[in-house]
């Protein structure tokens, strides 16, 4: 009925609540999910079994990486050194205590002849600008004709030059430019180091932290470091071979 005081107000008809048109689809999705649970469970168990079977080999791999003849060296830029007060130059240091990368003191002289205590900047602990050197501390006795040993290699047979320097292999690991790491080159270092070969495995940054051009810059910087410093670790800079695997 019309309200005589407010004729424009009409009674609102009662409508039934809207039905959920997606209810059948939800039920179908739930049935599909329940039907595939056995398949998901089987694949998960198969994956875990695969991991368990390979775990002993991974443990040996990590143990060898931590205990073998390996030296980790920083090849990135440390920048200029800093002194206790103004003046002094790291490049003109006359006396050094410790290595150049450990942040220890250096004694430097200013232009006036005054001695300053300077320090080299410390290497960043979590940087990807490290490389592993395999075989720098391995001793190779010359083979004896009367009692040859299959585990002993002469410098002549292993390719060393007259000065006892070892040939060098630079190995760039793969990893789809995403999961690459210098640790993946451990098995190659283990295989070649007994033959008097110095194996160097540089690390480089991955995507998405950097792009391809920056990865190439990291590799170029590491190779430049090898040519400038490999002789300090017993390598021959005249005999360097570059090897890459997959993305490397």
* pLDDT value, residue 126: 83
Report the mean per-residue pLDDT for the chain.
Answer: 75
Task: State how far the Cα of 29 lies from the Cα of 93, in Å rounded to an integer.
Answer: 74
Confidence of residue 75 (pLDDT cuts 50, 70, 90): very high
Residue 5 is given by DSSP the state S
* pLDDT value, residue 79: 60
Say which residue, 91 or 3, is predicted with more confidence: 3
* pLDDT value, residue 13: 59
- 147-206: pLDDT as tens digits: 334 344 445 445 555 467 899 999 999 989 999 899 999 999 989 998 999 999 999 999
Q: Where are the alpha helices (DSSP H) in the chain?
A: 23-67, 155-158, 186-192, 212-229
User: To the nearest whole percent, how much of the chain has pLDDT over 70?
Assistant: 63
* pLDDT value, residue 100: 39
Confidence of residue 33 (pLDDT cuts 50, 70, 90): confident
Say which residue, 246 or 161, is predicted with more confidence: 246
Mean pLDDT highest for which of 122-136, 139-153, 173-187?
A: 173-187
Q: Cα 138–144–149 angle (5° rounding)? A: 60
CA distances from 162 to 46, 84, 159, 165 (A): 55, 45, 10, 8
Confidence of residue 233 (pLDDT cuts 50, 70, 90): very high
The sign one gets for the Cα dihedral 236, 240, 243, 247 is positive
């Amino acid at each position: 009925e019309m309200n005589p005081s407010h004729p424009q107000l009409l009674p609102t008809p009662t409508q039934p609540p809207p039905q959920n048109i997606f209810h059948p689809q939800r039920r179908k999705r739930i049935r599909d999910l329940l039907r595939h649970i056995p398949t998901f469970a089987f694949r998960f168990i198969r994956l875990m079994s695969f991991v368990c079977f390979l775990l002993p080999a991974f443990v040996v791999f990590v143990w060898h990486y931590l205990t073998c003849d390996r030296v980790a060296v920083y090849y990135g830029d440390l920048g200029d050194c800093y002194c206790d007060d103004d003046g002094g130059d790291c490049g003109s240091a006359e006396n050094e205590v410790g290595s150049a990368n450990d942040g220890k003191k250096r004694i430097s002289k200013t232009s006036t002849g005054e001695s300053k205590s300077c320090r080299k900047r410390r290497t960043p602990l979590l940087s990807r600008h490290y490389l592993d050197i395999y075989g720098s501390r391995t001793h190779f006795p010359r083979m004896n004709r009367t009692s040859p040993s299959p585990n002993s290699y002469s410098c002549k047979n292993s390719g060393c030059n007259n000065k006892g320097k070892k040939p060098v292999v630079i190995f760039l690991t793969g990893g789809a430019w995403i999961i690459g790491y210098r640790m993946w080159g451990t098995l190659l270092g283990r295989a070649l180091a007994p033959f008097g070969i110095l194996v160097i495995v540089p690390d480089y940054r991955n995507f998405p932290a950097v792009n391809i051009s920056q990865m190439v810059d990291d590799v170029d910087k590491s190779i430049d470091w090898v040519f400038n410093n490999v002789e300090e670790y017993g390598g021959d800079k005249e005999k360097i071979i570059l090897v890459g695997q997959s993305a490397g």
